[in-house]
Structure formats: structure tokens, C-alpha cells
Amino acid sequence: MGISPWQLLIILAIVLLLFGTKRLKNIGGDVGGAIKGFKKAMKEGEAEEPAKLEKADEEKAKDDSIIEGESTREKDKV
């Protein structure tokens, strides 16, 4: 009960009549460019992620230093 090959051909013919081959070619090129851009951004993001983690670890190590001093409570000050 799926779509038969004849039905797919009829749908393809209607799409070609509505949009034309030149416009479909432009749409295909735009979609292909968008996919390439997405893949490139994903690769760049994966390459930057380890560097960001190392930087965050260094900053955390700086914040974990011990500060010596005397602590008092509010009740003791009065």
C-alpha cells in the first residue's frame, strides 16, 4: 500500500512543471551549500572544543587557590 513508481513519476512531472528545471537546480545548489557549511561549522566546533576545555580547567585551577585569613561571624563583631 505504498507509493508506486507511476505515482512518483506523476509527482515529479508536476514538480517540474511548477518550478522548472533551472529553479530546481538553484534550490539543489543552495541546499548543498547549506549542508557543506553546516559540516564545516561542526568540524570547526569540534576542533575548538578541546582548547576551550583546557582554558576552563586553567581558570578553575586559579580560582581554587587558598586564601589565608581570619573569618569572623557577625555575632563576634558586636
> What is residue 75's predicted lDDT score, i.e. its pLDDT?
65
- The dihedral built from the CA positions of residue 63, 64, 66 and 70, taken in this order, carries a sign that is positive
Q: How many domains does the chain have?
A: 1
Residue 10 belongs to some domain of the structure: no
Residue type present at position 51: A
7-40 pLDDT, tens per residue?
Answer: 999 998 998 888 888 888 888 899 999 999 999 9
44-58 pLDDT, tens per residue?
Answer: 877 777 766 677 666
Contacts of 75 by beta carbon, 8 Å cutoff, 6+ apart:
none
* Parent domain of 24: 20-61
Residue 38 belongs to some domain of the structure: yes
Residue 34 belongs to some domain of the structure: yes
Residue 31 belongs to some domain of the structure: yes
Residue 6 belongs to some domain of the structure: no
Residue 70 belongs to some domain of the structure: no
